[in-house]
Structures are given as structure tokens and as C-alpha cells.
Amino acid sequence: MAEPESKVVEEVKEEEEHEEGVDEAEGEQVSVGEIAKVMQNPQLLSAIQDKLSNMVGTPSGYVQSLPKVVKRRIKAMKKLQFDIVNVESDFYKEVHTLECKYAAKYASMFAKRKEILLGTVEPTDEEADWPSDEEDKDDDLPEDLKQKAVLEDKTDEEKKENEDKDKEDDDVKGIPHFWLTVFKNVDMLSEMVQDHDEPILEHLQDIQVKFWESDPVGFTLEFYFSPNEYFKETVLTKQYTMRFEPDPTDPLSYEGPEIIKCKGCTITWNTGKNITVRVVKKKQKHKGRGTTRTVTKTIQNDSFFNFFNPPTVPEGEEGDMDEDLEALLAADFEIGHFIRERIIPKAVLYFTGEALDHEEFEEENEEEHDADEDYNEDDDPDFNPQGEKPAECKQQ
């Protein structure tokens, strides 16, 4: 008796599924082998990695696939976003106006700071009344115990040396090498400072910022130097022009005011003291006559003072800059902004290193926050979404 048609069909389907499973298994084996070959071929692996890198951030095509009526709504939202950007731009303009207003209030305090660090005035006991650091812990001891601690186990010769040192300490004016120490403590600035810069930076007495209220808008950094053997100027300046409006070519990318141009100043170096250049001597041999001559060539030398000679951007050609020039200007803008926003207002904290400790603490917190964001509850063996609720959360 013939088997029912439905049963025959089922058997055929089972055979086909079995054959497809075998083919899939063979395909998986081949893929594993191919992967192994790729992993052993660094050039092919590198090419694949480049391909994957280029795919990062590639649109999925979802927005492009939306109906026209939805795209029309997206356009309306972008126009609203443009209105938001314009309001944000006005906000930052108001902030700049406030900065100009409060700069006058800061000026007297910064002037007092300059007098103290230069030693032209000595702070009063009231002005120096601030919680002590580690080295001042013994200040709370009674005076007789202080003297005993100082003189105990000291020979007459050691006592005399201490007395001489105390007299020398009393003769120290202000805070020696204040700004040089600040520069060397901050990584961004210490990378710029060369050994031959340090004797000049010992003459740096103050750094000030002056805001421009009218068009163009921006600020000037002023570096005040005592008379020295290196150059004739006592003030070196760096000007930064800012844009508070969104970029007309890409307004929706607006993230606040940005520096668009900077200008240094001329340094009149004394003879033989220009550390921003160095002379290289090379011998050249004449091919025909066989004679040699020495040729001198002046090339740029690494120095902090190159900061006052930034690359120039021709008017109207900001968008035509090559990558190297753009990177140089971006780094310059970052340094100028950092000096204005951090170094000038908090100079003493960068001198002591306290500001650096605070920044490191903030970075550690950011790293911990990033780690928390990367946490996946599926990887936690103790995570049980179906577990019993706490007693206070149980439903009655």
C-alpha cells in the first residue's frame, strides 16, 4: 500500500534540511580556516581594519529611507535647531560682556598678587592667614617647644649655619621663579619650554589678559618681563580674535565661541641672544674645481618664544588651510585659551601643584564614570532581574 502523500513530503523536507545542515557546517569549517589565514597575514588584516575604520560613523540609511513627509518634519526641526544656535550665540556674547565687566574687579587682586610675588610689598599677618600646608604643621606648637625642637641635638657649627641660612632666607624677595615653576609644572607648557628658555623665563614677572569689547572681539595675553640681556621689550603680546556667531558654512555644528585667528609680536633680540634660531654650518664642494666652501644657514630652533611668532592665515583662506597648518593653529589656540582660562586666574595653585592634583582627580572620576557606562548587567553573575524584591517594595 502506498504511503500517504503528506508523509512522503515530510520525509523529503527532512532530507533537504539535513543536507542544508551539512552544507552549513562545511561552510563554517571553511570560514574558520579562512579566518586563521587572515590572522596570519598582517597586510590583509591591516586592510580589513582600515575598511572597518572607514565604516565607523557611516549612516545606516534609515533617515534616507524615510517618507518625504517625515523628511519635511526633520527639515523643520533643523531650522528650529538653527534658531537655538542663534540664541546660544547671543548667550555667549552676553558672557563675554560680563567677562569684560568683571575683568576690572579682578585687576586690583591680580595687581596685589604681582606685588607679593615680586617682593615689592610684604603681606600682613591678616593677609597671610590661610590654612597651613604640610610644612607648617609645627606652627601650632608653643614657642619654647619650637625653639627646643630646632636647637636640640645641634652642634654650635650647625646652629651657626642655620642662623646664616635664616638670614639668607630673610633676604629672599617675593617668590623666586614663580612663573617659570608654573610653566614647568603644567605638561602643556613644559613641552614648549626648552633649557635655553629657562634663564629668560626667570625674568617673567606677570601674565595678564585684556579683553576686547568692540569688534573684532577677542583677547590679548600680555607677558611682562624685567629688563634682561636677551631682548629689548618688557612686554610681549599675543592677540586672539574670536568668533561668537556660528560658522556660516556649517551653522548646526556650533559648540560655542571659537578662536579663529592669532597674532604675535616682534621680539627685538640682542646680538647673539636669539634662541629661536640656530646657525648650521655646512661644507660644499665644487664639482668642477674640487674646492670647498663653508655655507651658514639659519633654521628655526625649538623654543617657548616661538609662541609669539605663530603661522599666519591669509585673509579669507581659513577653509583652504592644509592639515599641518590647521593642527599648528589648533594647538596654539588651545594653549592661549588654557593660559587665559586656567593659568592666569589660578597661577598660585599651579605653582604649588594643587591645581594639577585637582585635574588628575577629575580625570580619574571621568574614567570611573566611563567605566560605569561600559558596565553590562548581563556580565554580572550576581545580577538577577527576576529575583525577589526588597521587603519594602513587595506588593500587598
All domains of the chain, ordered by start, with CATH?
A: 72-123+177-365 (3.30.1120.90)
Which uninterrupted H or E stretch holds 335?
Answer: helix 323-338
Whole-model pTM over 0.85: no
In the chain, % of residues over pLDDT 70:
63
Query: Alpha-carbon distance 361 to 139, whole Å?
Result: 29
In one-letter notation, the amino acid at residue 343 is: I
Residue 271 has pLDDT above 90, yes or no: yes
Residue 8 has pLDDT above 50, yes or no: no
Mean pLDDT of all residues in 252-268: 90
Query: Alpha-carbon distance 192 to 301, whole Å?
Result: 11
Mean pLDDT of all residues in 287-299: 78
Which of 69-83, 133-147, 320-334 is most confident?
69-83
Task: State how beta strands 292-300 and 277-285 pair.
Answer: antiparallel
Instruction: Give the helix ranges, DSSP H, for 68-186.
Output: 68-118, 143-151, 156-171, 178-185
Q: Determine which of 22-36, 61-75, 244-258, 359-373 has the lowest per-residue pLDDT on average.
A: 22-36
Ramachandran sector of residue 4 (left: φ over 0; alpha: ψ -120 to 50; beta: rest): beta
Mean pLDDT of the chain: 78
Contact 265, 237 (CB under 8 A): yes
What is the pLDDT at residue 338?
Answer: 95
Q: Which residues of 138-155 are buried (b: 16+ CB within 10 A; e: fewer)?
A: eeeeeeeeeeeeeeeeee
What is the pLDDT at residue 160?
Answer: 61
Residue 236 has pLDDT above 90, yes or no: yes
- Would you state the cell numbers that stand for residue 132, as one nine-digit string? 597651613
What is the pLDDT at residue 14?
Answer: 55
What is the pLDDT at residue 284?
Answer: 76
Burial class (CB in 10 A: 0-12, 13-18, 19+), 343: buried
Over residues 174-215, the pLDDT tens digits come to 999 999 999 999 999 999 999 999 999 999 999 999 998 877
- Would you state the cell numbers that stand for residue 135, as one nine-digit string? 610644612
What is the pLDDT at residue 118?
Answer: 94
What is the pLDDT at residue 257?
Answer: 87
